[in-house]
Structure 1
Protein backbone atom coordinates (compact mmCIF):
# COMPACT_ATOMS: atom_id res chain seq x y z
CA UNK A 1 0.00 0.00 0.00
CA UNK A 2 1.39 3.44 -0.90
CA UNK A 3 2.53 5.72 1.90
CA UNK A 4 1.40 9.33 2.14
CA UNK A 5 4.03 12.00 2.72
CA UNK A 6 3.86 15.75 2.60
CA UNK A 7 6.56 17.41 0.49
CA UNK A 8 7.35 21.06 1.09
CA UNK A 9 8.59 23.24 -1.73
CA UNK A 10 9.95 26.77 -1.64
CA UNK A 11 7.38 28.15 -4.11
CA UNK A 12 4.48 25.73 -3.90
CA UNK A 13 3.60 24.32 -0.49
CA UNK A 14 0.65 22.14 -1.36
CA UNK A 15 2.17 19.19 -3.21
CA UNK A 16 2.05 15.59 -2.07
CA UNK A 17 4.09 12.51 -2.89
CA UNK A 18 2.65 9.03 -2.89
CA UNK A 19 5.47 6.51 -2.56
CA UNK A 20 5.60 2.78 -2.94
CA UNK A 21 8.43 0.45 -3.81
CA UNK A 22 7.96 0.72 -7.58
CA UNK A 23 6.60 4.17 -8.40
CA UNK A 24 6.38 7.72 -7.19
CA UNK A 25 3.68 10.21 -8.12
CA UNK A 26 3.37 13.83 -7.14
CA UNK A 27 -0.04 15.47 -6.89
CA UNK A 28 -1.13 19.04 -6.24
CA UNK A 29 -4.02 19.99 -3.98
CA UNK A 30 -7.03 21.59 -5.65
CA UNK A 31 -7.32 25.31 -5.03
CA UNK A 32 -10.20 26.59 -2.92
CA UNK A 33 -11.54 28.43 -5.98
CA UNK A 34 -11.62 25.25 -8.05
CA UNK A 35 -13.53 23.45 -5.29
CA UNK A 36 -15.98 26.34 -4.85
CA UNK A 37 -16.54 26.56 -8.63
CA UNK A 38 -17.12 22.79 -8.85
CA UNK A 39 -19.71 23.03 -6.07
CA UNK A 40 -21.46 25.96 -7.78
CA UNK A 41 -21.53 24.05 -11.09
CA UNK A 42 -23.10 21.00 -9.41
CA UNK A 43 -25.70 23.14 -7.62
CA UNK A 44 -26.49 25.00 -10.85
CA UNK A 45 -26.97 21.75 -12.77
CA UNK A 46 -29.22 20.36 -10.05
CA UNK A 47 -31.19 23.63 -10.03
CA UNK A 48 -31.67 23.30 -13.77
CA UNK A 49 -33.12 19.82 -13.18
CA UNK A 50 -35.56 21.25 -10.63
CA UNK A 51 -36.49 24.11 -12.98
CA UNK A 52 -37.08 21.68 -15.87
CA UNK A 53 -39.20 19.52 -13.58
CA UNK A 54 -41.33 22.53 -12.68
CA UNK A 55 -41.71 23.37 -16.37
CA UNK A 56 -42.62 19.75 -17.15
CA UNK A 57 -45.26 19.87 -14.46
CA UNK A 58 -46.70 23.23 -15.56
CA UNK A 59 -46.86 22.33 -19.26
CA UNK A 60 -48.10 18.80 -18.76
CA UNK A 61 -50.51 19.07 -15.85
CA UNK A 62 -51.27 22.73 -15.43
CA UNK A 63 -52.26 24.40 -12.18
CA UNK A 64 -55.53 23.40 -10.54
CA UNK A 65 -56.22 25.47 -7.40
CA UNK A 66 -58.96 23.12 -6.15
CA UNK A 67 -56.54 20.20 -5.68
CA UNK A 68 -53.37 21.64 -4.11
CA UNK A 69 -52.40 18.34 -2.48
CA UNK A 70 -52.50 16.53 -5.83
CA UNK A 71 -50.49 19.38 -7.37
CA UNK A 72 -47.78 19.00 -4.70
CA UNK A 73 -47.56 15.25 -5.31
CA UNK A 74 -47.42 15.69 -9.09
CA UNK A 75 -44.70 18.35 -8.81
CA UNK A 76 -42.64 16.12 -6.52
CA UNK A 77 -42.98 13.24 -8.99
CA UNK A 78 -41.77 15.50 -11.82
CA UNK A 79 -38.81 16.57 -9.69
CA UNK A 80 -37.95 12.94 -8.92
CA UNK A 81 -38.23 11.93 -12.58
CA UNK A 82 -35.58 14.48 -13.58
CA UNK A 83 -33.37 14.58 -10.48
CA UNK A 84 -32.92 10.84 -9.85
CA UNK A 85 -31.04 10.23 -13.15
CA UNK A 86 -28.86 13.32 -12.50
CA UNK A 87 -28.04 12.27 -8.93
CA UNK A 88 -27.42 8.66 -10.01
CA UNK A 89 -25.04 9.80 -12.77
CA UNK A 90 -23.19 12.03 -10.29
CA UNK A 91 -22.87 9.15 -7.79
CA UNK A 92 -21.59 6.75 -10.46
CA UNK A 93 -19.02 9.29 -11.66
CA UNK A 94 -17.89 10.03 -8.08
CA UNK A 95 -17.62 6.31 -7.31
CA UNK A 96 -15.61 5.43 -10.41
CA UNK A 97 -13.38 8.50 -10.87
CA UNK A 98 -13.71 10.62 -7.73
CA UNK A 99 -15.18 13.38 -9.89
CA UNK A 100 -18.64 14.89 -10.16
CA UNK A 101 -19.55 16.88 -13.25
CA UNK A 102 -18.39 20.08 -11.55
CA UNK A 103 -15.13 18.50 -10.40
CA UNK A 104 -14.50 17.11 -13.88
CA UNK A 105 -15.04 20.53 -15.47
CA UNK A 106 -12.71 22.12 -12.90
CA UNK A 107 -10.13 19.32 -13.40
CA UNK A 108 -10.06 18.19 -9.77
CA UNK A 109 -10.87 14.90 -8.05
CA UNK A 110 -11.25 13.23 -4.67
CA UNK A 111 -8.71 10.64 -3.54
CA UNK A 112 -8.02 8.75 -0.32
CA UNK A 113 -5.09 9.79 1.81
CA UNK A 114 -3.17 6.81 0.42
CA UNK A 115 -3.63 8.07 -3.15
CA UNK A 116 -6.28 5.57 -4.25
CA UNK A 117 -9.75 6.15 -5.63
CA UNK A 118 -12.07 6.17 -2.59
CA UNK A 119 -14.96 4.47 -4.40
CA UNK A 120 -18.64 4.64 -3.48
CA UNK A 121 -18.28 4.35 0.29
CA UNK A 122 -15.93 7.29 0.83
CA UNK A 123 -16.91 9.64 -2.00
CA UNK A 124 -20.66 9.16 -2.07
CA UNK A 125 -21.84 7.49 1.12
CA UNK A 126 -19.56 9.19 3.69
CA UNK A 127 -18.71 12.52 1.99
CA UNK A 128 -22.21 13.21 0.68
CA UNK A 129 -24.98 11.12 2.25
CA UNK A 130 -23.63 10.65 5.80
CA UNK A 131 -22.34 14.23 6.00
CA UNK A 132 -25.68 15.71 4.85
CA UNK A 133 -27.54 13.42 7.27
CA UNK A 134 -25.40 14.62 10.19
CA UNK A 135 -25.82 18.25 9.12
CA UNK A 136 -29.60 17.73 8.94
CA UNK A 137 -29.98 15.84 12.23
CA UNK A 138 -27.79 18.05 14.43
CA UNK A 139 -29.95 21.22 14.24
CA UNK A 140 -33.05 19.07 14.75
CA UNK A 141 -31.52 17.74 17.98
CA UNK A 142 -30.62 21.27 19.10
CA UNK A 143 -34.20 22.37 18.43
CA UNK A 144 -35.68 19.48 20.44
CA UNK A 145 -33.20 19.55 23.34
CA UNK A 146 -33.04 23.32 23.87
CA UNK A 147 -36.51 24.19 22.53
CA UNK A 148 -35.09 26.64 19.97
CA UNK A 149 -36.85 28.32 17.06
CA UNK A 150 -36.69 25.80 14.16
CA UNK A 151 -36.33 28.32 11.32
CA UNK A 152 -33.53 30.35 12.84
CA UNK A 153 -31.66 27.38 14.28
CA UNK A 154 -31.52 25.52 10.96
CA UNK A 155 -30.45 28.65 9.05
CA UNK A 156 -27.77 29.59 11.58
CA UNK A 157 -26.43 26.04 11.71
CA UNK A 158 -26.34 25.72 7.89
CA UNK A 159 -24.54 29.07 7.54
CA UNK A 160 -22.12 28.03 10.27
CA UNK A 161 -21.28 24.77 8.45
CA UNK A 162 -20.75 26.65 5.18
CA UNK A 163 -18.51 29.21 6.92
CA UNK A 164 -16.46 26.49 8.64
CA UNK A 165 -15.97 24.58 5.37
CA UNK A 166 -15.02 27.77 3.49
CA UNK A 167 -12.53 28.66 6.22
CA UNK A 168 -11.04 25.15 6.08
CA UNK A 169 -10.63 25.35 2.28
CA UNK A 170 -8.15 28.19 2.68
CA UNK A 171 -6.05 26.55 5.41
CA UNK A 172 -2.99 25.09 3.70
CA UNK A 173 -1.53 23.66 6.89
CA UNK A 174 -4.54 21.31 7.15
CA UNK A 175 -4.28 20.32 3.48
CA UNK A 176 -7.41 22.30 2.54
CA UNK A 177 -9.51 19.48 3.94
CA UNK A 178 -13.11 20.31 4.84
CA UNK A 179 -15.34 18.55 7.36
CA UNK A 180 -16.39 16.11 4.62
CA UNK A 181 -12.75 15.30 3.84
CA UNK A 182 -11.97 14.59 7.49
CA UNK A 183 -15.06 12.42 7.83
CA UNK A 184 -14.20 10.37 4.71
CA UNK A 185 -10.37 10.56 5.07
CA UNK A 186 -9.98 12.13 1.64
CA UNK A 187 -8.26 15.05 -0.08
CA UNK A 188 -9.14 16.88 -3.29
CA UNK A 189 -6.38 17.21 -5.87
CA UNK A 190 -5.81 18.71 -9.30
CA UNK A 191 -5.99 16.20 -12.12
Structure 2
Protein backbone atom coordinates (compact mmCIF):
# COMPACT_ATOMS: atom_id res chain seq x y z
CA UNK A 1 0.00 0.00 0.00
CA UNK A 2 1.37 3.38 -0.92
CA UNK A 3 1.05 6.21 1.55
CA UNK A 4 0.49 8.80 -1.16
CA UNK A 5 -2.37 6.89 -2.79
CA UNK A 6 -5.45 9.19 -2.60
CA UNK A 7 -7.82 6.20 -2.60
CA UNK A 8 -6.57 5.03 0.80
CA UNK A 9 -6.34 6.89 4.03
CA UNK A 10 -3.29 5.91 6.02
CA UNK A 11 -4.10 4.32 9.36
CA UNK A 12 -1.01 3.32 11.36
CA UNK A 13 -3.17 1.09 13.59
CA UNK A 14 -4.82 -0.92 10.79
CA UNK A 15 -3.99 -4.56 10.20
CA UNK A 16 -1.30 -5.10 7.55
CA UNK A 17 -2.65 -5.56 4.01
CA UNK A 18 -1.34 -5.84 0.49
CA UNK A 19 -2.55 -4.14 -2.66
CA UNK A 20 -3.99 -7.37 -4.01
CA UNK A 21 -5.92 -8.35 -0.87
CA UNK A 22 -9.54 -9.21 -1.64
CA UNK A 23 -12.31 -11.27 -0.13
CA UNK A 24 -12.63 -15.00 -0.80
CA UNK A 25 -14.23 -15.84 -4.14
CA UNK A 26 -14.02 -12.31 -5.52
CA UNK A 27 -12.25 -11.98 -8.84
CA UNK A 28 -11.27 -8.85 -10.68
CA UNK A 29 -12.21 -8.95 -14.38
CA UNK A 30 -8.68 -7.97 -15.43
CA UNK A 31 -7.27 -11.12 -13.85
CA UNK A 32 -9.30 -13.60 -15.91
CA UNK A 33 -7.24 -15.59 -18.38
CA UNK A 34 -9.15 -16.70 -21.46
CA UNK A 35 -9.40 -20.45 -21.93
CA UNK A 36 -7.43 -21.87 -24.84
CA UNK A 37 -9.38 -22.97 -27.90
CA UNK A 38 -8.15 -26.55 -27.57
CA UNK A 39 -9.19 -26.70 -23.92
CA UNK A 40 -12.68 -25.52 -24.81
CA UNK A 41 -12.87 -28.14 -27.55
CA UNK A 42 -11.69 -30.82 -25.12
CA UNK A 43 -14.38 -29.84 -22.61
CA UNK A 44 -17.04 -29.97 -25.34
CA UNK A 45 -15.84 -33.42 -26.46
CA UNK A 46 -15.97 -34.71 -22.87
CA UNK A 47 -19.51 -33.38 -22.42
CA UNK A 48 -20.64 -34.98 -25.69
CA UNK A 49 -19.04 -38.32 -24.74
CA UNK A 50 -20.96 -38.20 -21.45
CA UNK A 51 -24.15 -37.49 -23.38
CA UNK A 52 -23.60 -40.44 -25.74
CA UNK A 53 -22.72 -42.64 -22.77
CA UNK A 54 -25.97 -41.70 -21.04
CA UNK A 55 -27.98 -43.17 -23.94
CA UNK A 56 -26.29 -46.59 -23.63
CA UNK A 57 -28.34 -47.77 -20.59
CA UNK A 58 -31.58 -47.00 -22.49
CA UNK A 59 -30.36 -48.96 -25.52
CA UNK A 60 -29.37 -51.90 -23.29
CA UNK A 61 -32.83 -51.81 -21.69
CA UNK A 62 -34.53 -51.83 -25.09
CA UNK A 63 -32.41 -54.77 -26.24
CA UNK A 64 -32.96 -56.65 -22.95
CA UNK A 65 -36.72 -56.25 -23.16
CA UNK A 66 -36.73 -57.46 -26.75
CA UNK A 67 -38.10 -54.22 -28.15
CA UNK A 68 -35.43 -54.19 -30.85
CA UNK A 69 -35.61 -57.91 -31.72
CA UNK A 70 -36.64 -58.42 -35.26
CA UNK A 71 -39.73 -56.13 -35.08
CA UNK A 72 -42.19 -59.05 -35.26
CA UNK A 73 -44.86 -60.10 -32.75
CA UNK A 74 -45.71 -63.66 -31.66
CA UNK A 75 -48.39 -63.91 -34.33
CA UNK A 76 -45.81 -63.20 -37.02
CA UNK A 77 -47.24 -59.81 -37.85
CA UNK A 78 -44.85 -56.90 -37.96
CA UNK A 79 -44.30 -54.95 -34.76
CA UNK A 80 -45.90 -51.53 -35.18
CA UNK A 81 -43.12 -49.25 -36.39
CA UNK A 82 -44.58 -46.24 -34.65
CA UNK A 83 -44.48 -47.99 -31.28
CA UNK A 84 -40.88 -49.10 -31.83
CA UNK A 85 -39.80 -45.56 -32.73
CA UNK A 86 -41.70 -44.21 -29.73
CA UNK A 87 -39.91 -46.65 -27.41
CA UNK A 88 -36.52 -45.76 -28.90
CA UNK A 89 -37.32 -42.04 -28.64
CA UNK A 90 -38.46 -42.29 -25.02
CA UNK A 91 -35.37 -44.35 -24.16
CA UNK A 92 -33.06 -41.89 -25.89
CA UNK A 93 -34.71 -38.99 -24.03
CA UNK A 94 -34.90 -40.53 -20.57
CA UNK A 95 -31.29 -41.74 -20.63
CA UNK A 96 -29.60 -38.34 -20.99
CA UNK A 97 -32.29 -36.24 -19.27
CA UNK A 98 -30.85 -36.51 -15.72
CA UNK A 99 -27.35 -35.72 -17.03
CA UNK A 100 -28.57 -32.71 -19.02
CA UNK A 101 -30.48 -31.32 -16.02
CA UNK A 102 -27.39 -31.82 -13.82
CA UNK A 103 -25.20 -30.05 -16.40
CA UNK A 104 -27.64 -27.10 -16.46
CA UNK A 105 -27.53 -26.99 -12.65
CA UNK A 106 -23.71 -26.91 -12.71
CA UNK A 107 -23.69 -24.09 -15.27
CA UNK A 108 -26.20 -22.04 -13.25
CA UNK A 109 -24.36 -22.52 -9.94
CA UNK A 110 -20.67 -22.84 -10.90
CA UNK A 111 -20.42 -21.74 -14.52
CA UNK A 112 -19.11 -25.19 -15.45
CA UNK A 113 -20.28 -28.40 -17.06
CA UNK A 114 -18.53 -31.61 -16.05
CA UNK A 115 -16.24 -31.30 -19.08
CA UNK A 116 -15.36 -27.72 -18.17
CA UNK A 117 -14.75 -28.74 -14.55
CA UNK A 118 -12.38 -31.52 -15.60
CA UNK A 119 -10.49 -29.21 -17.97
CA UNK A 120 -10.43 -26.44 -15.33
CA UNK A 121 -12.30 -23.75 -17.24
CA UNK A 122 -15.53 -21.91 -16.50
CA UNK A 123 -18.11 -19.59 -18.03
CA UNK A 124 -18.41 -16.05 -16.68
CA UNK A 125 -20.19 -12.94 -17.90
CA UNK A 126 -18.10 -10.55 -20.00
CA UNK A 127 -17.91 -8.15 -17.05
CA UNK A 128 -16.39 -10.89 -14.85
CA UNK A 129 -19.50 -11.66 -12.79
CA UNK A 130 -21.03 -15.11 -12.41
CA UNK A 131 -23.44 -16.57 -14.93
CA UNK A 132 -26.90 -17.59 -13.84
CA UNK A 133 -29.47 -19.96 -15.34
CA UNK A 134 -30.78 -17.36 -17.77
CA UNK A 135 -27.43 -16.20 -19.17
CA UNK A 136 -25.60 -19.52 -18.84
CA UNK A 137 -28.25 -21.95 -20.02
CA UNK A 138 -31.26 -20.28 -21.64
CA UNK A 139 -29.54 -17.55 -23.65
CA UNK A 140 -26.16 -19.25 -24.19
CA UNK A 141 -27.44 -22.75 -25.10
CA UNK A 142 -31.15 -22.78 -25.86
CA UNK A 143 -31.26 -19.63 -27.96
CA UNK A 144 -28.57 -20.91 -30.33
CA UNK A 145 -30.61 -24.11 -30.82
CA UNK A 146 -33.81 -22.30 -31.81
CA UNK A 147 -33.14 -22.21 -35.58
CA UNK A 148 -33.22 -26.02 -35.61
CA UNK A 149 -36.86 -25.92 -34.52
CA UNK A 150 -38.05 -24.02 -37.60
CA UNK A 151 -39.91 -26.42 -39.92
CA UNK A 152 -38.43 -27.16 -43.35
CA UNK A 153 -35.50 -24.73 -43.33
CA UNK A 154 -34.55 -25.24 -39.68
CA UNK A 155 -31.84 -27.84 -40.20
CA UNK A 156 -30.09 -25.82 -42.91
CA UNK A 157 -30.34 -22.65 -40.84
CA UNK A 158 -29.12 -24.49 -37.74
CA UNK A 159 -26.11 -25.82 -39.67
CA UNK A 160 -25.16 -22.31 -40.76
CA UNK A 161 -25.57 -20.94 -37.22
CA UNK A 162 -23.46 -23.77 -35.79
CA UNK A 163 -20.73 -23.19 -38.40
CA UNK A 164 -20.59 -19.46 -37.66
CA UNK A 165 -20.70 -20.20 -33.93
CA UNK A 166 -17.72 -22.54 -34.14
CA UNK A 167 -15.65 -20.32 -36.42
CA UNK A 168 -16.00 -17.30 -34.14
CA UNK A 169 -13.71 -19.03 -31.60
CA UNK A 170 -10.84 -17.83 -33.81
CA UNK A 171 -11.52 -14.17 -33.00
CA UNK A 172 -9.04 -12.37 -30.75
CA UNK A 173 -11.30 -12.58 -27.70
CA UNK A 174 -12.06 -16.32 -28.34
CA UNK A 175 -15.80 -15.75 -27.95
CA UNK A 176 -18.16 -17.87 -30.03
CA UNK A 177 -21.52 -16.63 -31.30
CA UNK A 178 -23.29 -18.10 -28.26
CA UNK A 179 -20.84 -16.22 -25.99
CA UNK A 180 -21.56 -12.94 -27.75
CA UNK A 181 -25.33 -13.45 -27.62
CA UNK A 182 -25.23 -14.28 -23.90
CA UNK A 183 -22.53 -11.75 -23.01
CA UNK A 184 -20.22 -14.46 -21.65
CA UNK A 185 -16.64 -15.65 -22.01
CA UNK A 186 -14.80 -18.81 -20.98
CA UNK A 187 -11.81 -18.42 -18.70
CA UNK A 188 -9.43 -20.55 -16.66
CA UNK A 189 -11.08 -21.54 -13.39
CA UNK A 190 -9.09 -20.64 -10.29
CA UNK A 191 -8.38 -23.64 -8.05
CA UNK A 192 -10.98 -24.16 -5.36
CA UNK A 193 -9.99 -23.87 -1.73
CA UNK A 194 -9.01 -27.27 -0.35
CA UNK A 195 -8.32 -28.84 -3.74
TM-score of the aligned structures, taking structure 2 as reference length? 0.71
CA offset digits 1:25-67 (Å, max 9, x no partner): 3110011111111111111111111233212211124333322
Q: Which has the higher helix share?
A: 1
**What is residue 125 of structure 2 aligned with on the other side?**
112
The within-5 A match list for 1:1-191 is 25=28, 26-63=31-68, 64-65=71-72, 66-133=79-146, 135-137=147-149, 140=151, 143=153, 154-155=155-156, 157-172=157-172, 175-191=173-189
- Which protein shows a greater Rg? 2
Q: 2:35 and 2:140 mapped to 1: Cα distance? A: 17
The alignment covers a number of residue pairs equal to 157
Q: 1:158 and 1:131 mapped to 2: Cα distance? A: 8
Structure 1 residues 24 and 37, CA gap change in structure 2 (3 angstroms): closer
Q: Which has the higher strand share?
A: 1
- Give the aligned CA root-mean-square deviation in angstroms: 2.4
Deviation, 1:137, is: 4.3
CA offset digits 1:130-185 (Å, max 9, x no partner): 2111x3146x47x3xxxxxx8xxx35x4443343233211221xx11111011100
The unaligned stretches of length 5 or more in structure 2 are 1-21, 73-78, 190-195
Q: 2:27 and 2:188 mapped to 1: Cα distance? A: 17
